Amino acid sequence: MSRFPFPPVPNSWYAVAWSHDVPRGTVLPVRCFGQDLVVFRGEDGIPRVLDAMCPHLGANLGVGGKVVGNQIECPFHAWRFGGDGVCTHIPYSQNIPGKARVACWPVQEVNGHILTYFHRDKHEPTFEVPLVPGFGAAQWHAPTFHSVNVKTHVQEMNENIFDVAHFVKVHHYREMPTATEHIDGPHVRVALSGELEVLGHRFTAANDAYMHGAGWTVIHVTKPFELLVLVAKTPVEVDLVQHRFAICVRRQFGPAGWPFRAFITRQVIADVATDAAIWENKRYVERPLLVKQETGIATFRRWHQQFYSGRQEAGRQQDVA
């Protein structure tokens, strides 16, 4: 039973794998949305995502399956399926039953992540996730990739960006930062600025958080240094989210760059852990007691409502004291 009064998976793009986990010609079993899926990359270099359960006798295509050309071959009786999920080959039969197919999922590969689109009613994607041009480029240190499972709902994690008050207690701001929201359909940018205090030093801080749907966020820190964090939140089961974050620090501060990068990476990991401990142990308050500095939370809940089919509760107008 869920702790949350809304569906477990909002309709959105979600990361199902990092690109480096699925080299050309390989297969990866993944668990997400309470289902078993398989990711494979054809000899043409294109990643594909299918339901993992073979319609023949139910083997998991991701466990022992192999890539043949741009198809996946089942480990049990060697039936083959294309990226569209249609069976193309049965080694001992010319006759391929019309029902010999598995569901195929929309795929986008963005900045080292393989994303698929979940829609409760199986609708096609209505938006795309844009590439982040700087990520992984020569002026930046090589990104590092991190993952932690968090017992919560993606909506709770997404609300964090709009919850300006918590940046003081959790993220080292001296006082509540200023936030400006720019909503554009399923995309929103939140520009945050304020003053940080780290190791006794004060810095002017600024960042932009770009959310594209409920599962993908790009945080671009511009002050006091430049940093990109790609945040991918994927519902695995009810009330369990795989929280991937990829950290890319711009090459700066000359020879001090490497230790600086290590310091920043540790800091981001620690901040995620602090947030996660709160998410895992809080309850969702449908009608929170908000003061007027916290109207961003109500804005967020209204925006996030668009990712649910048929339920209105998640975006109910919040009380502002």
Q: Phi and psi (nearest 5°) for 107?
A: -135, 140
Rounded to 10 degrees, what is the CA torsion of 158, 164, 165, 171? Answer: 80
As measured in angstroms, the least distance from the Cβ of 28 to ligand FES is 18
Phi-psi region of 213 (alpha: psi -120 to 50; beta: other; left: phi over 0): left
| # residues contacting ligand FES (CB under 6 A) | 9
Q: Considering the complex, state which of residue 64 and residue 185 has its C-beta at the smaller distance from ligand FES.
A: 64
Question: Which partner in ligand FES, Fe ion, none is near 275 (CB below 5 to 8 A by kind)?
Answer: Fe ion
User: Concatenated DSSP letters for 300-313?
Assistant: HHHHHGGGSSS--G
Q: Which alpha helices (H) appear in 57-202, and where do they start and end?
A: 154-159, 166-171
Q: What is the DSSP pairing of strand 187-198 with strand 113-118? A: unpaired
Neighbouring CB atoms inside 10 A of 316's CB total 14
User: Which residues face 247 on adjacent strands?
Assistant: 144, 229
As measured in angstroms, the least distance from the Cβ of 79 to ligand FES is 4
Question: Which partner in ligand FES, Fe ion, none is near 76 (CB below 5 to 8 A by kind)?
Answer: ligand FES
Please state whether the peptide bond connecting residue 224 to the residue before it is cis, i.e. omega within 30 degrees of 0: yes
Neighbouring CB atoms inside 10 A of 142's CB total 8
As measured in angstroms, the least distance from the Cβ of 89 to ligand FES is 10
Exposed, middle or buried, 226 (CB in 10 Å: 0-12/13-18/19+)? middle
Question: Which partner in Fe ion, ligand FES, none is near 56 (CB below 5 to 8 A by kind)?
Answer: ligand FES
Segment near ligand FES (CB under 6 A); pick from 51-59, 113-121, 232-240, 254-262? 51-59
Q: 35: which 2 tokens? A: 């289902």
Is 79 among the residues that bind ligand FES (CB under 6 A)? yes
State which amino acid sits at residue 166.
H
Is 54 among the residues that bind ligand FES (CB under 6 A)? yes
Q: Considering the complex, state which of residue 57 and residue 273 has its C-beta at the smaller distance from ligand FES.
A: 57
Is 96 among the residues that bind ligand FES (CB under 6 A)? no
As measured in angstroms, the least distance from the Cβ of 49 to ligand FES is 18
Q: Considering the complex, state which of residue 74 and residue 214 has its C-beta at the smaller distance from Fe ion.
A: 214
Segment near ligand FES (CB under 6 A); pick from 50-58, 182-190, 200-208, 284-292? 50-58
Pick from 262, 230, 11, 12: nearest CA to 112: 230
> Which residues, 6+ apart, have CB-to-CB distance to 23 below 8 Å?
41
30 within 8 A of 62, measured Cβ to Cβ: yes
Is 68 among the residues that bind ligand FES (CB under 6 A)? no
Task: Kindly write out the interface string for residues 159-198 of this chain, putting x where it contacts ligand FES by CB under 6 A and - elsewhere.
Answer: ----------------------------------------
Task: Kindly write out the interface string for residues 127-166 of this chain, putting x where it contacts ligand FES by CB under 6 A and - elsewhere.
Answer: ----------------------------------------
- Greatest alpha-carbon pair distance for the chain in Å reads 74
As measured in angstroms, the least distance from the Cβ of 115 to Fe ion is 23
As measured in angstroms, the least distance from the Cβ of 64 to ligand FES is 10
Q: Considering the complex, state which of residue 83 and residue 215 has its C-beta at the smaller distance from ligand FES.
A: 83
The only residue of 116, 160, 217, 265 in contact with Fe ion, by rule CB under 5 A: 160
Is 77 among the residues that bind ligand FES (CB under 6 A)? yes
Question: Tell me, what DSSP letter sits at residue 269?
Answer: H
The only residue of 18, 76, 127, 284 in contact with ligand FES, by rule CB under 6 A: 76
Is 50 among the residues that bind ligand FES (CB under 6 A)? no
CA 275 to chain centre: 16
Give residues in contact with ligand FES (CB under 6 A): 54, 56-59, 74, 76-77, 79
